[in-house]
Amino acid sequence: MTFVTDSLGLALTGATETSAARYEAAVRLLQCYRGDPVAEVDAAIEESPDFVMAHALKAWLHLLGTEPGGLPVARSALDAAGTLKATEREKGHLAAIGHLVDGRWHAASRVMEDVTIAAPRDALGLLVGHQIDFFTGHSRMLRDRIARALPHWDAAMPGYHSLLGMHAFGLEETGDYARAEAEGRRGVDLERHDGWSQHAVAHVLEMQNRSADGIAWMRSNDGWTGDSFFQVHNWWHLALYHLERGETDAVLALFDREIYGARSGVVLDMVDASALLWRLHLRGIDLGDRWSAVADNWAPIATSGTYAFNDAHAVMAFVGAGRRDAALAVLAGQEDAKARGGDNADFIAKVGEPVVRALIAFGDGDYRRVVALLRPVRSIAATFGGSHAQRDVLDLTLIEAAIRSGEPEMAMAFAAERAERRHDSPLSELFVRRARALAA
């Protein structure tokens, strides 16, 4: 068993200097969400087949996209590493990967929590733990997992920008907007290609309804575009600012080019496409055949029951495209997923299934049923993942359904609630005007 160390002094069992450099290059790309980290880690494995952390990184790369097709690759990488000698830190990664491939999100989170408490300079461990916190909607851990490690880092260390970006996002999700914006901006200052730091500031500006500032922020730096595999989500944030301002032509132009011009079959890209079109659909915007292209790409994987948050976005596309049978098939897939167990069964039972049923009811024009289904789950919706900005679509759907249901008191209550939370918002003001007109 050979030992080399990474640039922060952590042992890399089975690596050579050459393969370790490849591995670190892959981590650096992942910290910026750009390039092809899979190619780098595959090269590291080819150079050093017994390189434990290279196999672990390959598994993580195929797990964190929530792609059904990624699970077999992750299992294979885990099997390849399972017979190798490893340090306790490396064994922790493999144990967490084992939990995640079997659907135990919370167990994986806890193992990685312990790994990075013991090794706070484990950059990959911090990143994957942070992503698991995002997928499980654990706002406090998004912040605190990184806060624990920050005293062990400084600006001279490679990847420090990533720590700032992750902490910024955690601060934003827990409502500390001023600190979140400052740390996210500093992360971008240190590394202009850091798509996560860019995204953390985008979230702050979205939550504060600073749409003009948001447009300026996204347009001021193009480091998050180009070869970034996170760029669609950041383009989505830019589109949200324009949508808030009622600039639907700009939103549709972004959808047709940057967001879904390539008609990506990547799950996270399809989530953004569905989420944006649904927001436009709620406003009664004519979307032409845009829904069909998104629904076509969801169709092969929508019944896999891999992750409840994805199920909801697949159903948005099916409802928008008028494919009710496909939406009902997602419900059947969720029943299968509940029978298999794992944490996703809980995500589905508590939030995912009611949301899917509400979206189908919206498509059926049964708006009172939409309200009845969404009211009980919106306060616990974080438990099926996503960010505050992403889950806002549930509130938007609820308010629109309340207005369309013809119940003025309910409509006014939800519209007033949003206006208080998002004051000076043109959309909030529109909801209030519509609710008052209904009451009149």
324 occurs within a structural domain: yes
290 occurs within a structural domain: yes
Low-confidence ranges of the chain (pLDDT < 70): 1-2
Residue 8 makes CB contacts below 8 A (sequence gap 6+) with: 121, 123, 157, 158
Around 370, how many Cα atoms within 13 Å sit in the side-chain half-sphere? 26
Residue 276 makes CB contacts below 8 A (sequence gap 6+) with: 236, 239, 240, 243, 251, 255, 259
The neighbour count for residue 423, using CB atoms within 10 Å, is 10
433 occurs within a structural domain: no
172 occurs within a structural domain: no
Q: Radius of gyration of the chain from Cα atoms?
A: 22
In our burial notation (b when 16+ CB lie closer than 10 A, e otherwise), range 151-171 reads eebeeeeebbbbbbbbbbbbb
> Cα 210–213–218 angle (5° rounding)?
120
Q: What integer pLDDT is reported at residue 2 of this predicted model?
A: 54
Q: Could you tell me the residue range of the domain that residue 340 belongs to?
A: 260-405
- 242 sits in which H/E element: helix 231-244
DSSP 383: G
Q: What integer pLDDT is reported at residue 353 of this predicted model?
A: 98
Q: How far is CA 348 from the centre of its chain?
A: 17
Place of tokens 């050579």: 16
CB 116 within 8 A of CB 149: yes
Tens digit of each residue's pLDDT (9 = 90 or more) over 357-407: 999 999 999 999 999 999 999 999 999 999 999 999 999 999 999 999 998
327 occurs within a structural domain: yes
CB 53 within 8 A of CB 15: yes
Tell me the whole-structure pTM to 2 decimals.
Answer: 0.96
Q: What integer pLDDT is reported at residue 423 of this predicted model?
A: 84
Q: CA-CA-CA-CA torsion for 29, 33, 36, 38, nearest 10 degrees?
A: 90
- 5 sits in which H/E element: strand 3-5
Q: Among 189, 126, 131, 196, which Cα is nearest to 165's?
A: 196
Domain count along the chain: 1
Query: In terms of DSSP bridges, do strands 11-13 and 3-5 run parallel, antiparallel, or are they unpaired?
Result: antiparallel
DSSP 257: I
Q: What integer pLDDT is reported at residue 3 of this predicted model?
A: 72
